[in-house]
Amino acid sequence: MRVPATARKPKVGLVAGGLGAYWPQFPDLLPQLRRSAARVAERMREFDAEVVDVGFVSDAQEGAAAAERLRAADCDVIVGFLTTYMTATMLVPIAQRGGAPVLLINLQPTEAMDHASFDTGQWLAYCGACPLPEMANAFQRVGVPFRSVSGYLEDERAWDRIGRWVRAAGVRSVLRHGRHGLMGHLYPGMYDVSTDLTMVSANLGGHVEVLEFDDLRVRVQEATEEQVAAKLAEARGTFELADSVVEEDLRWAARVSVGLDALVADFDLDTLAYYHRGLEGEVHERLGAGVILGASLLTARGVPACGEYELRTSLAMLIADRLGAGGSFTELQALNFRDGVVEMGHDGPGHLAISERRPLLRGLGVYHGKRGWGVSVEFDVRQGPVTLLGVGQGRDGRYRLVAAEGEVVGGPLLQIGNTTSRVDFGRDPGEWTDEWSGSGVGHHWTLAVGHLLPDLRCLADLTGLDLVTVGA
């Protein structure tokens, strides 16, 4: 059985090394370096990663053998620990044959040497920086991207940076192995939303499963009364219910939620994007209007779901979720020049884990621009630092990450069943909106908690995507 992409831990290949010519000259050096390598392996496992440690290499032949073991392990990132000076011939084969992006780390034993007492052997334990320029030059000449983090063994700033690369490798893995559901059809007229399915695999990897609303319909019909009752209890325990919620509509949303759960399980999905227009109250129209509850519950448990057939936004939501930042389906709503904020959100599913307060279910007689009626989710994203993230596409078909950092602030919000937030970007809302719109982001994106640009820079590097930042 396939492990869901969203359940995958990043697989980190680890190799440490130093120049073997030193060992007979300085007998105490190799044992010290091995202790440092063991500490690095221990810290790596604290990132909730699967660590494939192929040991210590001392010459080019051992480097080549380590490359083969790492290639067979199918790692998401390979970390090369430069414990002291080592030649490029020891690491270039690993970078070329290992089958994964490579990060070199130079972590000396402590913050600084004891200059008065150190001899040559003790100095060499601090000499991991020495080969870094050599590695960078060699990597460039053989066509391998160079990345490095320098610090000392217990340097938390360095480990924070290393952690970003490990998290980014985990997100890259999820994208490469993900299965993304696309159900229904394009919202009429939205050219920007239109997605060439081949480009998903070309840019990110993964698989797009094309679904019909009938795939959902049959599973909704098969939902048992016990399942619906359990889902109703879950909804009442999760949401505050507005007086406008009609019991019949809530029961229908619960039944559709049961069907969505079955759909995701049966097709082994990691994300879902959907839209169906419907007509005159027929079942497909009712399904399209009834998915918001279930899609929000799916999103909250790590299976991002969004409307309007927005496959690239469901991918952005997946990235944000795997970075631990939530991520709600979002578009521009209005500009508030009096308060200096941009108001954004959407009707439809939201990421319940990032709500400022207990999310509300509101009954709606009509959705804006969509057919049907029923219940919708309403909340404000948690106040504080946030990041907007979209997946744009250029004329050449290449994807790009588009991001901006701001802050959700309090204030008046619409009460129309939307996930509305007031975002302060520290500048004129009109100027910011013009720059954001010109970035190529598209109609929708995800709104996530925290400032994510450092993580997104690492992800862009590992995936080969451009990162466009607005206001940074």
Output the DSSP codes for 295-329: HHHHHHTT--EESTT-HHHHHHHHHHHHTT---EE
Give the pLDDT of residue 365: 59
Answer for the pair 289, 372: CB distance below 8 angstroms, yes or no. Answer: yes
- Direct distance between the N- and C-terminal alpha carbons of the chain, in angstroms, rounded to an integer: 43
Residue 182 pLDDT exceeds 90 = yes
Q: Which of 132, 160, 175 corresponds to the end of one domain?
A: 175
CA distance 291 to 314: 15
Q: Which of 424, 393, 427 is nearest to 411 (CA)?
A: 424
Q: Which of 74, 71, 72, 119 is nearest to 95 (CA)?
A: 71
Based on the domain organization, do 421 and 449 belong to the same domain?
yes
Based on the domain organization, do 51 and 9 belong to the same domain?
yes
Based on the domain organization, do 146 and 202 belong to the same domain?
no
| Mean pLDDT within 227-238 | 96
Based on the domain organization, do 200 and 315 belong to the same domain?
yes
Give the pLDDT of residue 471: 87
Based on the domain organization, do 162 and 202 belong to the same domain?
no
Based on the domain organization, do 221 and 156 belong to the same domain?
no
| Mean pLDDT within 409-416 | 85
Based on the domain organization, do 369 and 432 belong to the same domain?
yes
Q: In what order do the strands lie in the sheet with 207-211?
A: 207-211, 179-184, 271-275, 305-306
Q: Which of 175, 198, 223 corresponds to the end of one domain?
A: 175
Q: pLDDT tens digits for 242-255?
A: 888 999 999 999 99
Q: Which of 175, 208, 239 corresponds to the end of one domain?
A: 175
Based on the domain organization, do 393 and 271 belong to the same domain?
yes
CATH (domain of 29): 3.40.50.10940
Based on the domain organization, do 218 and 70 belong to the same domain?
no
Q: How confident is the model at residue 4 (pLDDT cuts 50, 70, 90)?
A: low
What's the number of domains the chain is made of? 2
| Mean pLDDT within 259-280 | 93
DSSP state of 208: E
Cα-Cα-Cα-Cα dihedral sign, residues 425, 431, 435, 438: positive
CATH (domain of 223): 3.20.14
Could you tell me the residue range of the domain that residue 406 belongs to?
A: 178-469
CA distance 108 to 153: 6
Backbone region of residue 266 per phi and psi (left: phi > 0; alpha: psi in -120 to 50; beta: other values): alpha
Q: Which residue has the higher pLDDT, 195 or 372?
A: 195
Give the pLDDT of residue 348: 67
The residue count of the chain comes to: 472
Alpha-carbon dihedral 281, 283, 289, 293, rounded to 10 degrees: 140
Q: How confident is the model at residue 210 (pLDDT cuts 50, 70, 90)?
A: very high
Based on the domain organization, do 304 and 393 belong to the same domain?
yes
Residue 297 pLDDT exceeds 60 = yes
Q: pLDDT tens digits for 274-283?
A: 999 888 778 9
Amino acid in position 103 = L
Give the pLDDT of residue 7: 73
Based on the domain organization, do 354 and 387 belong to the same domain?
yes
432-444 as b/e, with b when 16 or more CB fall inside 10 Å? bbeebeebebbbb
Instruction: Indicate the range of 294-298, 303-307, 344-348 predicted with least confidence.
Output: 344-348
Q: For residue 368, what are the CA distances in angstroms to 146, 328, 365?
A: 49, 18, 10
Based on the domain organization, do 64 and 187 belong to the same domain?
no
361 sits in which H/E element = strand 360-364
